[in-house]
Amino acid sequence: MNQAIRNTWMAVMLMFLLALGALSYVQFFAAGDLNDNALNRRPLYKEFDLPRGAILADGKPIAESVPTTEGQFDYQRVYNDPELYAHLTGFYSLTFGSRQLESAMNKELTGQSDDQWLDRIKNLFSGQATQGASVETTIDPRLQKVAYDLIPNGVQGTIIVSEPKTGNILAMVSKPSYDTNLMAVQSSKRANENMNKLLDVPGLNINVNPAVGHLIPPGSTFKIFDIVAGLESGKYNADTVMKNPARIKLPGSTATLGNFYGGNCAAKTEATLAWIVANSCNTPFVSMSQDLGAEAFRKVTTNFGFGQQLNIPVKVTPSVFPAELTGSQLAQSVIGQFDVKVTPLQMNMAAMGIANGGVIMEPNLVKQVMAPDLRVLSTTKPKVLGTATSPEIAAQVTDLMRGPVQYGTARSAAIPGLDIAAKTGTSQIGNTDLVNSWITGFAPADDPQVAVTIVMEKIDFKTGSSLTSPNLKKILEAVFNQ
């Protein structure tokens, strides 16, 4: 063999080895990343030609794939009562991909989960198409509808109802909502036209479930954490008498902070912690913040889940307690203002944790996953997320949270014969007349069955108040009068 032939042979072999190596890398190492790449549409096209599993609420499909003869694919994704469940299911779109449960449970819905590997092997030999599994949610359709109807059209709001002892979410609704079928169309042109219409809806972001992805100042519902910090310090109890001036100077500043103008705090210049909590006075908590220091509040908020990335299974945006605070900023933070930001789910977790004796159960939206032949592939069991405080402290906080309902800011939530614990909140929005109006609580206080959180955003104080405590009452009536 002369040198020229030898060189050519070596070059061919080298190119063959390079091609073999590249093919092996793509097949065995990069396949997952390539399939997950948002720019790679081939897996999505392949999935659209398969029967995707249903998303269920109490056994009834709220999202399902039905055979169709229209369009280029054999199946069409259909959403039932789409506005009622839009922020939970999200959508499954050829043009825009998937969101919320459609995205978080995609492997199960397409039959690609680890629990379905045996079914895939059987289908490989039988020639049958892979069918997706169905996902049964924890949602109670009746409570979901009650909660949804309590948010007036045109109002931006969220309501969550959960079980403190299991973490299961029974209702999770937000408005404005939208018709998810508009995103599921097979025509990209129509999908883009529909997307442009939805982008014009004030307050709507179809990429975000407001209950788990929207951060809002919590206002005085944050005082639940203040109470825990105060009680844990051993310096405060329900009978501790505190000064309650109408206004107080912020530390290191010439600015002052006052009690909310709409409450009863002006009635007493000194009061017990129990009375202060019931009427949600601000100035005593400013004094408490300077007494305890930022670390005490940071520790409590961390124990209740701030900064923690959760998947329920949809991703939850971590709530924020600022890392560095001056005395003035801390004073504003402990009344739920400054840069303190929470999701509605975070404040529901606060209520769940107190209701459950200080133990927070992991919030959960999925009850079980079922194969097409109705075999149960997996069941979600209650899991402890963490211990936020001791049972003794939780019991004292519960007692203090009875005050707002019995003689304070949440009186309109009261139901004769039902023991309710709750805390209201109002976070002001800049220098506007608009507020975020909150309430979070649970019932019965001595044996909690449900925790309820309501927030109405960017609303005037009077309207907001009419949609929080009274609606907490209506939800609890729906729960306990069923």
Q: How does 246-272 read in b/e, with b if 16+ C-beta sit within 10 Å? A: eebebeeeeeebebbeebbbeeeeebb
Question: Is residue 16 pLDDT above 60, yes or no?
Answer: yes
pLDDT in tens, 250-282: 988 889 999 977 679 999 999 999 999 999 999
Question: Is residue 65 pLDDT above 90, yes or no?
Answer: yes
Does 378 participate in catalysis according to the annotation? Answer: no
CATH number, domain with residue 269: 3.40.710.10
Q: How does 29-56 read in b/e, with b if 16+ C-beta sit within 10 Å? A: eeeeeeeeeeeeeeebeebbebbbbbbb
What is the model's pLDDT at position 130? 78
pLDDT in tens, 159-207: 999 999 999 999 999 999 999 999 999 889 999 999 999 999 999 999 9
Does residue 316 belong to any structural domain of this protein? Answer: yes
- The dihedral of CA 255, 258, 261, 267: what is its sign? negative
* Share above pLDDT 70 across residues of the chain, in percent, rounded to a whole number: 94
Does residue 386 belong to any structural domain of this protein? Answer: yes
Of 220, 280, 319, 469, which is the active-site residue?
220
Bond prior to 176 in cis (omega within 30° of 0):
yes
Q: What is the CA radius of gyration of the chain?
A: 27
Does residue 97 belong to any structural domain of this protein? Answer: no
Round to whole Å and give the CA distance between 258 and 211.
30
| Exposed / middle / buried, residue 10 (Cβ in 10 Å: 0-12, 13-18, 19+) | exposed
Q: What confidence category does residue 47 fall into, taking pLDDT thresholds of 50, 70 and 90?
A: confident
Number of domains into which the chain is organized = 1
| Region 62-87 average pLDDT | 92
pTM of the predicted model as reported, rounded to 2 decimal places: 0.90
| Exposed / middle / buried, residue 387 (Cβ in 10 Å: 0-12, 13-18, 19+) | middle
What is the model's pLDDT at position 323? 92
Does residue 295 belong to any structural domain of this protein? Answer: yes
Question: Is residue 38 pLDDT above 80, yes or no?
Answer: no
Place of tokens 């032939």: 5
What is the model's pLDDT at position 122? 76
Helix (H) or strand (E) holding 396: helix 391-407
124: left (phi over 0), alpha (psi -120 to 50) or beta: alpha
Q: Is 347 strand, coil or helix?
A: helix
Round to whole Å and give the CA distance between 329 and 285.
13
CA 281 centroid distance within chain: 28
Does residue 352 belong to any structural domain of this protein? Answer: yes
Q: What confidence category does residue 245 fall into, taking pLDDT thresholds of 50, 70 and 90?
A: very high
Q: What confidence category does residue 431 fall into, taking pLDDT thresholds of 50, 70 and 90?
A: confident
Does residue 234 belong to any structural domain of this protein? Answer: yes
Residues 6+ apart with CB under 8 A from 263: 279, 280, 281, 409
| Region 233-252 average pLDDT | 95
Quote the mean pLDDT of the chain.
92
Does residue 116 belong to any structural domain of this protein? Answer: no
Round to whole Å and give the CA distance between 17 and 10.
10
Does residue 139 belong to any structural domain of this protein? Answer: no
Q: What confidence category does residue 114 fall into, taking pLDDT thresholds of 50, 70 and 90?
A: confident
What is the model's pLDDT at position 115? 81
User: Domain range spanning residue 452?
Assistant: 220-366+381-481
